[in-house]
Structure 1
C-alpha cells in the first residue's frame, strides 16, 4: 500500500463536435439528440450538451472540462440520446473512452460508431494538459485508490435581529457522502465530505422560493479559514452563511492489502506451534518440525441447512477422535455449516474439549418443534428489533427478518454474541481460524448471476480478496466513504451475519409469510414451496409485487414486506473508492467468469452504496475460495460435502471455476465407478502443479457404515437398522426443507458423519505425511 503526495493532476477537455446519420426512434420526425458525459473519477455530475432538434447529423461544438489524476482509471462514458417529451429518452449510441490512452499535451479526434460497417458516428475531440497547482495524496494497493477528502462545515444564521418565518433550506454538494440536507435557518451546523480535487460547489436553495439559491465554488474557499457570506434573498430575515473548509480525515479504516492482516499472521504463528506438536504425535515423527516444514491444513465445509450443521458436528468429533483437530489451521463454512461454527466458537476452547456437550445441545435444537418461532410474542420481538436496527441506520432488508427467525430455529433465546467475540477463541492459537463465505452480486440481476464476488468473514476482518480491501469485523455494517469510517454503527449480533451466509433458505419466506395466518400454515406453505423442486436445485431469487391479501403474520411486518426489498442490503465499505490505472492487470484482481463488467470500473462494487450479499449456494455450494488465496498457501484441504445430489458435482463446479480464474486447483476427475458408488474419501492432486493444494474429499455417503458400527467392527443383526440412513435427494429426512429431525435420524446422521471420518484414518495420515514432505521439498528447493 502506497501513501504519498502523487503528482499527475491533469485537465481533460472533451469537445463534443458532431454526429452523423443518427437513427431516429420516431418514425415520423428526425432525431432530437443530445450527448451526456459521465466521468465519476472527476465528478458525480452527468454533463449534457444542448439538444439539437429534427436533425440526424447534429453539430454541438460544446466543450467540457474535467480535473483528473493520471494514476486513476479515468473512463469517460459518452451516450447519445433521442429526446422524447412523452416517454423516456431513447438511447442511440453509447461508448467508453479511456483517458489513460492520452499522452500529456496530446490532442486527439475520435469517431465512434455503432459498428465498423455503420454509417452512424459521433465525433469527439480530447485534449490532456498537465496541471502543476496540486499534488494529491493517494493511498493504493495497486487495485483500489483512496483519494484525499475535504470537509466543509456550514452554519446558517439569521442576519442581525430580524424576525420572520423560518423557511426550510436545502444544502447540496453533489457527490458528497452526506448528500442533500434540509434544515431551518439557525438550527444547527452541517458537514459535507467530498473528494478534495473535485470541482464542486455548495448550493443553498430556499424551499419556498426554488429560484433563489446561492452557489459557492469550494475551490475558491481558503482552507482552514472561516468565511461569512450574506445570502441576499427576497425573504425576511436575511441569511448569513458561515463556511469553513478543512482537510478531511486522512487515516483509512479500510485496509488496502492483498495479504493476510497482521492479526491473522500473528494467529498463524501461534497456531503453527500447536500444529507442529499434533503432527509430531499423530505421524510419530522422531524430531520436531522446523517452522518452514509445518503444512497449512484446512477444513472446507459446504452448505446444506440443518443437515450440514449436524454432519459437521459429527465430522469434527471424528477428527478429534483421531487427534487431528490440532493439525488444522483454518475451517471455512458456508450456509448451514456456518451455524455449527458460530455455535462452537462461543466456547473459546471448544476443540480442546469433548464435543459431547455441544452435540447434545445441538440435538435439542434440531429435534424441537419450530412452530413457536412465529408465535405472536416472537413476532413482536422481531418487529421491535428490526425497528431498532433501522433507527440505528442499518438498511431495511428481508434477510434481517430471516436472520431473527433462523436464530429462533437454532436457539431458545436471542444470543448477544458477535463475530469479533470469536477472537478470544484464537488468542492462544488453541482453535483453527474460522472463515465464513458469502457472495456479493448485483441487486438488479438476482436471477442471472452473471456477476459475483467472494466476500469472506473472519473474527478479524471482513473483506473482498478480489479488491484487496478489508475492514475490522466489528465495523461491518458501518458507513464508509473513500476508505474512511464516516458513521460507526454498533456491531450486529452474529445471527444477522448468519442470515447473510444462509439466505438461500429465505427464498420463499416472503410469500409464505403473506399467505399464512397461523404458524402451522406458514410452515406447510414454506415446505411445500421448497419441496416442489424434485432435487436440491438452487431456487432463483425473485422480487415481486406483494399479494393483494396478506395473512395475519404478514400484518406484523407490513412495511418490510410491502416494499419487497432485496435479499440483503448492507452499507458498502468500498463505497467511493476508485480504481488504479493498472487495476485489471494486478495479479490478485480476479475477473468473474466471462463477464465484461470487470473491465468497466464505473460499474463495479465501489460505485454501489450498498452490498448485496447472498448465500454462496446460489452459485457453488462451497466455502473453498478463501483457502485458495496464494497468500494463505494451503497445502491440504479436507473437503466436507453435504450435498445429497451428486457426490462430486459441487467440487467439479469449483474446479471449473478455478480453471476459468487460473487458480491452482487439482482436476476433479472421479472414475465411473466412483461416480456410481462414491466412497467415504477420495483424493485429488495435481503432480504437475505443486502449488495446487491436495484435496481429500468426503461426500456424505452411507457406504461401509451399513455393515460396520465402527471401523473394523461389524454390525450385529440387531444393529442393521442403525446403519440404514436415507440420503436420497428426493425423500430424505435430511432434505434442506426439513427443519426438524427426529431423535433417531439426528443420531444416525451424527454417527454416520463421525464414522466416515474415522474410517478414513489412513487416507488422512498419508495426506498429512505428504503435506509435510511437500514443505520439506519446497524448503530444499529454496526461494524461487
Structure 2
C-alpha cells in the first residue's frame, strides 16, 4: 500500500492495542465509582470514554470546565479514555504535561488560566519558525500555523515531545487520544483511511489498523521500513497539526531560508509579525466565508512600510494584480480556488499560473479532524477498546448534533455499531437541551452534552465565543468555564443513572453464563 510509506521504524499492521496502552487502561480500571456510592465487581465496571469536539479556544476552555466539574463531583475517576481533536486537544496538551493531573485539577486550571494571560513575542516566534525550517525536510503550513496562530491562543512555545511526556504519564489519568484526518483520504472519500489517532505510544489509522511508534511520527518510510529519520514532533507542532484548517481559494508559498532572526530588533520583528498575523487573518476570514480583500489591502500597505528590513527578512506576496517585495510568503489567489500549501522554493512557483495539481503531495498530509467529523468518536469505536459508554461534549459553533449524525452515517458505511441518531428539528438545533442519551444494539451508549443549551444560556451565547476570533478575555474565560461546568453538575444524577444501567446489563450478561 503506497500510503504506508509514512512514519516509524516499522509499521505495525493489526487492530490489537499496543502493550503500553493495555497496561495503562488495565491499571486505570482499578479506579472505581465508590465515591459516588456505586459498587460493582471489577468485570462489571463500564469502560467509559470522554470525547471532546473541536472549536478552537471555546473547545479548549469548555473541556477544561467540564473536566473540573467531573473532578469536583467525583466522576473523573471513572473515565478510562479522553479523546479530543482540534481545540480540545490544546487543553489536553496542557493537562498531560502535569503528572497525575486528574487528582489536582484545581491547581492545573489556575496554571492554564495564568498561562493564557501571558504573551509570546514575535521574535520568539520567528526563532522557532527558523528552527523548524532548519530541522525539517518537509517544512509546511503546519509549522507556520503552529508558530503564529497556536501561540497567539495558548501563549506558549511547547517543545516537549511525546517521548518526554511518557515518563510523566500516570495511570491515574485517563488514556489520551488525539485525532487528525488524512487529507487525501478525506478528499477521496476513503472513510476507513481518513481517521488517524495519535496516542503517547502509537500513531496510525484507527479503522484500517496500521500504526507506528509516535516518537517516529514524521520520519520517512518506504514499504513500512524507516529510510530517513526526522526530529520527533514537539507538542507545539502537533497542536498546529491538530488545529490546521484547509481552505480552498488561495495558495501560499513559504521561503524563510534567507531570514536572519538575530538581525531583527524587537520593533522590526513586531512589524514583520504583523504581516504574518494578517496572513493568518486572511485564512480565518476565508474559513468564515467572509471577504478577505480588506486584509490583503492591509498587507500591501504593511509591506510598503517595512522596506527598511526587506534585505534582512525576505518575503514576497504575489496576488493576481501584481507582486510586492517584502518578507516571507508568496500568496496567489485564483478565483474560487483556495488552498494553504507551503513548499520549498522551486522555479515553477514563480510562473504565471499554478496548477491545482500542486495540492497533490507525495507525502501524507494530516489536518484538523474538524473538517470531517467534529468529534473523535471513530478511535473509540475500535472493538479492542471495548467502550460501553461515550460521553460526548460538543463545543461546535453551529449545529450541536452534526458530529453525531455524521458519525452515524460513517459508521453505517463502515459497518461499525453506533446508535441511531434521529433527525433533529431546526428548533432543537438552535435551542438544544443539556443532556441526550442515544442507545443501539451492540453499540456503546452515547451521552451527548451541547455546550450552549436552554439550561445554562438565555441565548446560545455563540456570538461571544466564535471559532475564529482572537484570544478570550479573562472575563470570557471565567464565564465559559462556569457554563461548561454547569452542564456536568446539573446532570450528575443522570450520568450516574446511565452508568448504573450499563452495570446492570453487564451483571445480567455475566449471570447468563453462570
TM-based fold match above 0.5: yes
Indicate which of 698, 705, 709 corresponds to 2:449: 698
Is 1:677 the equivalent of 2:431?
yes
Residues 512 and 525 in structure 1, CA contact (< 8 A), matched pair in contact too: no
C-alpha distance in structure 2 between counterparts of 1:535 and 1:344, whole Å = 33
Residues 297 and 636 in structure 1, CA contact (< 8 A), matched pair in contact too: yes
Indicate which of 147, 150, 162 corresponds to 1:404: 147
Partner of 2:379: 626
C-alpha distance in structure 2 between counterparts of 1:382 and 1:396, whole Å = 12
User: Which stretch of structure 1 is more off in the superposition, 448-457 or 630-639?
Assistant: 448-457
Is 1:280 the equivalent of 2:56?
no
| Pair 1:425–1:568, CA change in 2 (3 A) | farther
Q: Which protein is richer in strand relative to its size?
A: 1
| Pair 1:705–1:622, CA change in 2 (3 A) | closer
C-alpha distance in structure 1 between counterparts of 2:49 and 2:499, whole Å = 11
Residues 644 and 727 in structure 1, CA contact (< 8 A), matched pair in contact too: no
Indicate which of 412, 416, 427 corresponds to 1:663: 416
Partner of 2:133: 387
Partner of 2:177, secondary structure, is strand
Residues 396 and 560 in structure 1, CA contact (< 8 A), matched pair in contact too: no
Partner of 1:6: none
Indicate which of 106, 124, 134 corresponds to 1:356: 106
Q: Which protein is richer in helix relative to its size?
A: 2
| 1:492 to partner: Cα distance | 1.6
Is 1:464 the equivalent of 2:195?
no
C-alpha distance in structure 2 between counterparts of 1:461 and 1:726, whole Å = 38
Is 1:430 the equivalent of 2:172?
yes
Question: Rg bigger for which structure?
Answer: 1
C-alpha distance in structure 1 between counterparts of 2:475 and 2:409, whole Å = 38
C-alpha distance in structure 2 between counterparts of 1:781 and 1:492, whole Å = 49
Residue correspondence of structure 1 range 352-751 to structure 2 within 5 A? 352-353=103-104, 355-366=105-116, 375=122, 377-378=123-124, 380-390=126-136, 394-427=137-170, 429-442=171-184, 453-504=194-245, 519-520=273-274, 523=277, 526-527=280-281, 530-531=284-285, 546-547=318-319, 548-550=322-324, 552=326, 555-557=327-329, 567=341, 610-669=363-422, 672=425, 674-675=428-429, 677-686=431-440, 689=441, 691-706=442-457, 727-728=461-462, 732-751=463-482
Residues 306 and 366 in structure 1, CA contact (< 8 A), matched pair in contact too: no
Q: Which runs of 5+ in 2 are unaligned?
A: 256-269, 291-316, 344-360
Partner of 2:417, secondary structure, is coil
| Pair 1:525–1:565, CA change in 2 (3 A) | closer
Partner of 2:350: none
Partner of 2:51, secondary structure, is strand
- Measured against aligned partners, the alpha-carbon deviations of 1:228-283 in whole angstroms (never above 9, x if no partner) come to xxxxxxxxxxxxxxxxxxxxxxx972222211111111112111112xxx323313
| 1:639 to partner: Cα distance | 0.2
C-alpha distance in structure 1 between counterparts of 2:4 and 2:417, whole Å = 28
Taking structure 1 as the reference length, the TM-score comes to 0.52
Partner of 2:28, secondary structure, is helix
Q: In the comparison of the two structures, how many residue pairs are matched?
A: 449
| 1:327 to partner: Cα distance | 0.1
| Pair 1:534–1:484, CA change in 2 (3 A) | closer
Partner of 1:639, secondary structure, is strand
Partner of 1:313: 64
C-alpha distance in structure 2 between counterparts of 1:316 and 1:507, whole Å = 35
Is 1:761 the equivalent of 2:492?
yes
Residue correspondence of structure 1 range 148-227 to structure 2 within 5 A? none
| 1:551 to partner: Cα distance | 6.8
C-alpha distance in structure 1 between counterparts of 2:26 and 2:111, whole Å = 33
Partner of 1:582: none
Residue correspondence of structure 1 range 240-319 to structure 2 within 5 A? 253-274=10-31, 278-285=32-39, 289-319=40-70
Residues 253 and 331 in structure 2, CA contact (< 8 A), matched pair in contact too: no
| 1:461 to partner: Cα distance | 0.5
C-alpha distance in structure 1 between counterparts of 2:383 and 2:374, whole Å = 21
Partner of 2:464, secondary structure, is coil
| 1:754 to partner: Cα distance | 0.5
C-alpha distance in structure 1 between counterparts of 2:393 and 2:253, whole Å = 32
Residues 148 and 277 in structure 2, CA contact (< 8 A), matched pair in contact too: no
| Pair 1:502–1:262, CA change in 2 (3 A) | same
Partner of 1:437, secondary structure, is strand
Taking structure 2 as the reference length, the TM-score comes to 0.77
C-alpha distance in structure 2 between counterparts of 1:513 and 1:476, whole Å = 23
C-alpha distance in structure 1 between counterparts of 2:238 and 2:488, whole Å = 29
| Pair 1:252–1:556, CA change in 2 (3 A) | closer
C-alpha distance in structure 2 between counterparts of 1:462 and 1:701, whole Å = 33
Q: Which has the higher contact order (CA 8 A, sep 6+)?
A: 2
C-alpha distance in structure 1 between counterparts of 2:247 and 2:254, whole Å = 11
| Pair 1:705–1:411, CA change in 2 (3 A) | closer
| Pair 1:379–1:273, CA change in 2 (3 A) | closer
What is the aligned-residue RMSD (CA, Å)? 3.7
| 1:558 to partner: Cα distance | 6.3
C-alpha distance in structure 2 between counterparts of 1:389 and 1:402, whole Å = 17
| 1:745 to partner: Cα distance | 1.5
C-alpha distance in structure 2 between counterparts of 1:457 and 1:658, whole Å = 20
| Pair 1:676–1:440, CA change in 2 (3 A) | closer
- Measured against aligned partners, the alpha-carbon deviations of 1:59-82 in whole angstroms (never above 9, x if no partner) come to xxxxxxxxxxxxxxxxxxxxxxxx
C-alpha distance in structure 2 between counterparts of 1:559 and 1:764, whole Å = 50
Q: Which runs of 5+ in 1 are unaligned?
A: 1-39, 42-143, 147-176, 178-250, 537-544, 570-607, 707-723
| Pair 1:546–1:439, CA change in 2 (3 A) | farther
Partner of 1:477, secondary structure, is coil
Partner of 1:400, secondary structure, is helix
| 1:660 to partner: Cα distance | 1.6
C-alpha distance in structure 2 between counterparts of 1:567 and 1:725, whole Å = 39
Residues 58 and 395 in structure 2, CA contact (< 8 A), matched pair in contact too: yes
